[in-house]
């Protein structure tokens, strides 16, 4: 007779094992159920800090009820029944046997503050991970009307979470995370390449604008050849050298771009089709760079949080280092999008009225005659 597979056993095999914080939460709840007076020693965590709804409901119920008399608590289960009833209002399926299990698995109730600190640390990891994911998603959301402003606001929110964690877990000097950073995504965006080509052609036709666009750097370009050509334009304008497609081609040759595979005729054609203004194309390129950097920073911090070996101290230091990379490009974006200052007329210094001198007592001397040769 063929054996009927035990689907229930197969399902149990697919359930991932509980994380260490789950056992820590059990130990803390067991300590509080066994000795409720230790709740006063537990600070810094709220019910949202727990990883499961059952544990969160139990902790909220324990906090909502006054602690029983320690002597009476050892004689009956009245207070435990009240905790169970209060927790039942938030979650279903909770039984009295689970409360007894929590009490049994707690090694030492007096270690409750240490357990609470561990739970707080893991909650900080989840908070930082969620903030990093929001930054990553926002940076890629093309439906937003103000993409850069919204993305930078999410970066500020992420920094606020990191600051809050730092206040609870002050970082040690030099405690950087050891998690390898994810490789930056380099999407091949044909629209971005077209905008870069149009910028190069337009800037070649209007080289005087290049000097005013210091907020745009070669690192903002998605195509390496375009980044090198932009550096050629910067070099020529700062030298005061005449700028046109031919002079840019000559500078490109000295930089080895032709030996790298770029054809002279191809570069001349690229630089000979200006459209619009360099500033408008430059802002588009810089916007894409801001969003790309923000997206990479979000992925980088998320990788830190998903490494269980990363401590809260390392999360703070690593997050702050990553967010610092966004400061420079944020400043350049503000320079690019801020209105140009209006030229104010030069202030003329008013001629002061001559001061009155002392009264004369003698006649003034006669004017000196000019000696002619």
pLDDT in tens, 329-345: 999 999 999 876 555 54
Per-residue pLDDT at 43: 85
Both tokens of residue 342? Answer: 């209006």
Per-residue pLDDT at 229: 95
Regarding predicted confidence, which is higher, 137 or 347? 137
Q: Is the pLDDT of residue 222 over 60?
A: yes
pLDDT band at 103 (very low <50, low <70, confident <90, very high): very high
Q: Is the pLDDT of residue 319 over 90?
A: yes
Report the topology of domain 190-283.
Answer: DNAb Helicase; Chain A (1.10.860)
Q: Is the pLDDT of residue 373 over 50?
A: no
Least confident of 12-26, 97-111, 310-324: 12-26
Tens of pLDDT, residues 133-158? 999 999 999 999 999 999 999 999 99
pLDDT band at 259 (very low <50, low <70, confident <90, very high): confident
Please state, in angstroms and rounded to a whole number, the distance separating the CA atoms of residues 128 and 298. 10
Regarding predicted confidence, which is higher, 14 or 136? 136
**Proportion of the chain above pLDDT 90, given as a percent:** 68
Q: Is the pLDDT of residue 34 over 80?
A: yes
Regarding predicted confidence, which is higher, 239 or 259? 239
The answer to whether the CB of 314 falls within 8 A of the CB of 321 is no
Q: Specify the CATH class of 19-107 in words.
A: mainly alpha
């Amino acid at each position: 007779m063929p054996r009927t597979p035990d689907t229930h056993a197969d399902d149990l095999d697919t359930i991932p094992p509980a994380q260490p914080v789950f056992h820590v939460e059990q130990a803390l709840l067991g300590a509080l159920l066994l000795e409720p007076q230790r709740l006063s020693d537990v600070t810094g965590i709220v019910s949202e800090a727990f990883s499961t709804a059952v544990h969160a409901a139990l902790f909220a119920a324990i906090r909502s009820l006054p602690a029983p008399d320690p002597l009476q608590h050892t004689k009956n289960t009245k207070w435990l029944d009240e905790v169970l009833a209060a927790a039942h209002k938030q979650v279903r399926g909770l039984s009295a046997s689970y409360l007894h299990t929590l009490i049994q698995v707690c090694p030492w109730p007096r270690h409750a503050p240490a357990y609470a600190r561990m739970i707080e640390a893991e909650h900080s990891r989840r908070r930082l991970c969620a903030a990093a994911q929001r930054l990553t998603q926002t940076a890629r959301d093309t439906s937003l009307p103000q993409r850069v402003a919204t993305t930078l606001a999410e970066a500020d929110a992420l920094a606020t979470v990191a600051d809050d964690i730092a206040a609870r877990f002050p970082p040690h000097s030099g405690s950087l995370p050891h998690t390898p950073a994810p490789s930056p995504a380099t999407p091949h965006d044909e629209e971005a390449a077209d905008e870069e080509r149009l910028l190069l052609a337009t800037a070649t036709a209007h080289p005087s604008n290049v000097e005013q666009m210091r907020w745009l750097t070669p690192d903002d370009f998605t195509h390496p050849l375009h980044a090198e050509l932009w550096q050629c334009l910067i070099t020529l304008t700062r030298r005061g050298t005449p700028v046109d497609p031919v002079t840019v081609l000559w500078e490109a040759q000295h930089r080895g771009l032709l030996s790298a595979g770029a054809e002279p005729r191809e570069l001349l054609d690229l630089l000979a089709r200006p459209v619009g203004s360099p500033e408008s194309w430059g802002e588009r390129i810089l916007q894409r760079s801001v969003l790309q950097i923000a997206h990479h920073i979000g992925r980088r911090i998320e990788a830190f949080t998903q490494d269980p070996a990363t401590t809260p101290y390392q999360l703070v230091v690593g997050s702050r280092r990553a967010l610092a990379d966004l400061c420079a490009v944020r400043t350049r974006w503000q320079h690019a999008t801020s209105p140009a200052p209006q030229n104010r007329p030069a202030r003329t210094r008013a001629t002061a009225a001559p001061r009155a001198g002392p009264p004369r007592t003698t006649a003034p001397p006669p004017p000196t005659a000019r000696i002619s040769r």
